[in-house]
Structure 1
Amino acid sequence: MKHAALTPLGVMVLALLREGDMHPYEMIRLLRLRRQDAIIKITNGTFYHTVGRLQRQGLIAEVGVDRDGNRPERTTYALTDAGPQALAAWVRTHLADADGTTGFRVALAEAHNLDRAEVADLIGIRRTALARELAEVQKRLTRAQALNILEQFAIESHRRRAMLRAEIEWTDSFLERLARPDYLWGVTDIPVEHQAGNLALRKAARA
Structure 2
Amino acid sequence: MPEQPRLTPIAVMILATLREADMHPYEMVRLLKERRDDRLVPLQKGTIYHAVARLERDGLLAEVGVDRDGNRPERTTYTLRDAGRRAVEQWVRAELPQIDRASDFRVALSEAHNLPRDEVMALLDRRRALLLASVDEHRAGLDKAATSETPEQFLVELQRQSALLDAELAWQDSLRARLADRSLAWGIAEIPEHIKKKHRVSKETTP
**Fold match by TM threshold 0.5:** yes
Show the counterpart of 2:194.
193
Letter in 1 for 2:152: E
- SS at structure 1 position matched to 2:19: helix
| Divergent runs of 4+, >6 A | none
Show the counterpart of 2:181.
180
Deviations 1:7-61 (A, max 9, x none): 0000000100011110111111111122111222211111111001101110001
Aligned pair 1:21/2:22, yes or no? yes
Show the counterpart of 1:10.
11
- Post-superposition shift, 1:100? 5.2
Contact 2:40 2:107 in 1 (8 A): yes
Q: Measure the CA separation in 2 of the matches of 1:118 and 1:130.
A: 18
Letter in 1 for 2:185: L
Check 1:182–1:163 CA distance in 2 against 1; reply closer, same or farther (3 A cut): closer
Aligned pair 1:129/2:107, yes or no? no
- SS at structure 1 position matched to 2:150: coil
Q: Measure the CA separation in 2 of the matches of 1:172 and 1:29.
A: 32
Q: Measure the CA separation in 2 of the matches of 1:149 and 1:188.
A: 55
| Matches for 1:82-161 after TM superposition, within 5 Å | 82-99=83-100, 101-161=102-162
- SS at structure 1 position matched to 2:63: strand
TM-score normalised by structure 1 residue count: 0.93
Q: Percent identity?
A: 50
Show the counterpart of 2:166.
165
- Post-superposition shift, 1:197? 2.4
Show the counterpart of 2:205.
none
Q: Measure the CA separation in 2 of the matches of 1:196 and 1:46.
A: 28
Please, which runs of 5 or more residues in structure 2 have no aligned partner? 202-207
Please, which runs of 5 or more residues in structure 1 have no aligned partner? 201-207
Show the counterpart of 2:76.
75
- Post-superposition shift, 1:181? 2.9
- SS at structure 2 position matched to 1:134: helix
- SS at structure 2 position matched to 1:76: strand
Q: Measure the CA separation in 2 of the matches of 1:156 and 1:33.
A: 34
- Post-superposition shift, 1:68? 1.4
Deviations 1:55-108 (A, max 9, x none): 111000111111111111111111112111000000000000112511100100
